[in-house]
Structure 1
Amino acid sequence: MSEKLINAKIDGKDYQFPVGMTILDACKSAGYDIPTLCYLKGIAEEGACGMCVVEVKKARTLQRACITKVTDGMEITTDSSAIHEARKTNLELALAHHPLDCMTCDADGDCELQELAYQFGIKKSQFLIDREAFESPKKTAWDTNPFIQFDPQKCILCRRCVDACENQALVEAIGMAMRGSESVVSTPFNVPLEETDCQFCGACVQACPVGALVEKPRIGKGKIFNLEKTDTICAYCGTGCDISLYKDKKNNLVMARGIVDAMPNKGRLCVKGRYGFEYVNSNERLTKPLIKENGKFREATWEEAIAYTATRLQEIKDKYGPDAIGVLGSSRCTNEDNFAVQKFARAVIGTNNVDNCARLCHASTIAGLGKALGTGAATNPVDDIKNADVMFVIGSNMTESHPVIAQFVKENKKKRGAKLIVCDPRKTDLAKVADIYIQHFPGIDVALLNGMMKVMVDKGLVNKEFIEAHTEGYEEFVKVVSKYDLDMVSRLTRVDKAL
Structure 2
Amino acid sequence: MSERVIQKEKQSLVTVTIDGRQVIARAGQTVLEVAREAGIRVPTLCCLERLEPIGACRLCVVEVDGLPAPVTACTTPVQEGMVVRTRSPFLEEMRRETLKLLFLRHPMNCGPCEASGRCPLEDLAYEYDISSQEVQDYGVGPVELPEQPWATPLIRYHPRRCILCGRCVKACEEVSGIGAIAFKGRGAGTRVGPVEPTAEFSSQCVSCGECLSVCPTNALVESMGQPKGKPWELKEVRTVCPYCGVGCEMVLQVRGDRVVGVASVADGRPEADTSVNRGALCVKGRFGYEFISHPDRLRRPLVRREGGFEEVSWEEALDLVARRLKEVIARHGADAVAGLASAKATNEENYLFQKLMRGVVGTNNVDHCARLCHSVTVAGLAAAFGSGAMTNSISEIEDTNLILITGTNTAENHPVIGSLIRRAVRRRRAKLIVVDPMRTDLVECAHLWLRPRPGTDVAWINGLLHVIIAEGLWNWKYVEERTEGFEELRAAVAPFTPEYVSR
Query: Shared topology, TM-score over 0.5?
Result: yes
Correspondence for 2:433: 421
Identity %: 39
Correspondence for 2:414: 402
Correspondence for 1:35: 43
Trace 1:158-307 onto structure 2 (pairs within 5 A).
Answer: 158-192=165-199, 194-249=201-256, 251-260=257-266, 261=272, 262-307=274-319
Contact between 2:178 and 2:422, CA under 8 Å: does it hold in 1?
no
- What secondary structure does 2:77 align onto? coil
- What secondary structure does 2:310 align onto? strand
- What secondary structure does 1:468 align onto? helix
C-alpha deviation, 1:245, in angstroms? 1.2
Contact between 2:147 and 2:159, CA under 8 Å: does it hold in 1?
no
Judged with a 3 Å threshold, the aligned counterparts in structure 2 of structure 1 residues 32 and 484 are, in CA distance, closer, same or farther, namely same
Q: 1:113 aligns with which of 113, 117, 121?
A: 121
C-alpha deviation, 1:33, in angstroms? 1.3
Judged with a 3 Å threshold, the aligned counterparts in structure 2 of structure 1 residues 241 and 130 are, in CA distance, closer, same or farther, namely farther
Trace 1:442-457 onto structure 2 (pairs within 5 A).
Answer: 442-457=454-469
Unaligned runs of 5+ in 2: 267-271
State the one-letter code of the partner of 2:366.
V
- What secondary structure does 1:102 align onto? coil
The alignment's TM-score, normalised by the length of structure 2, stands at 0.91
State the one-letter code of the partner of 2:394.
V
State the one-letter code of the partner of 1:64.
T
Contact between 1:141 and 1:191, CA under 8 Å: does it hold in 2?
no
Q: 1:390 aligns with which of 402, 405, 418?
A: 402
- What secondary structure does 2:224 align onto? helix
Between 1:171-180 and 1:463-472, the stretch displaced more is: 463-472
Render the CA deviation track for 1:342-363: whole Å, top value 9, x for unaligned: 2222233232222222223334
Between 1:314-323 and 1:414-423, the stretch displaced more is: 314-323
Render the CA deviation track for 1:464-484: whole Å, top value 9, x for unaligned: 222232222222222222222
Between 1:30-39 and 1:420-429, the stretch displaced more is: 420-429
State the one-letter code of the partner of 1:27.
A
Whole-Å separation in 1 of the counterparts to 2:133 and 2:178: 35
Between 1:153-162 and 1:350-359, the stretch displaced more is: 350-359
State the one-letter code of the partner of 2:365.
N
Q: 1:56 aligns with which of 50, 64, 69?
A: 64
- What secondary structure does 2:502 align onto? helix
Whole-Å separation in 2 of the counterparts to 1:366 and 1:80: 62
Whole-Å separation in 2 of the counterparts to 1:390 and 1:187: 30
C-alpha deviation, 1:489, in angstroms? 1.0
May I ask how many residue pairs the two structures share in their alignment?
488
- 1:103 and 2:111 are equivalent in the alignment: yes
Correspondence for 2:162: 155
C-alpha deviation, 1:53, in angstroms? 1.4
Between 1:277-286 and 1:296-305, the stretch displaced more is: 296-305
C-alpha deviation, 1:115, in angstroms? 1.8
Whole-Å separation in 1 of the counterparts to 2:177 and 2:76: 25
Contact between 2:358 and 2:364, CA under 8 Å: does it hold in 1?
yes
State the one-letter code of the partner of 1:377.
A
C-alpha deviation, 1:133, in angstroms? 5.2
- 1:462 and 2:474 are equivalent in the alignment: yes
Between 1:427-436 and 1:292-301, the stretch displaced more is: 292-301
Unaligned runs of 5+ in 1: 492-499
Contact between 2:462 and 2:493, CA under 8 Å: does it hold in 1?
yes
RMSD of the TM alignment (CA)? Answer: 2.2
State the one-letter code of the partner of 1:252.
R
C-alpha deviation, 1:445, in angstroms? 1.7
C-alpha deviation, 1:15, in angstroms? 1.6
C-alpha deviation, 1:75, in angstroms? 1.4
- 1:94 and 2:102 are equivalent in the alignment: yes
Contact between 1:99 and 1:132, CA under 8 Å: does it hold in 2?
no
- 1:485 and 2:491 are equivalent in the alignment: no
C-alpha deviation, 1:10, in angstroms? 1.7
Render the CA deviation track for 1:367-399: whole Å, top value 9, x for unaligned: 322322233332332012123221111111111
C-alpha deviation, 1:176, in angstroms? 0.9
Render the CA deviation track for 1:117-146: whole Å, top value 9, x for unaligned: 1222223273458896596x7242339x53
Whole-Å separation in 2 of the counterparts to 1:342 and 1:20: 54
Between 1:301-310 and 1:271-280, the stretch displaced more is: 301-310
Whole-Å separation in 2 of the counterparts to 1:104 and 1:97: 17
- What secondary structure does 2:25 align onto? strand
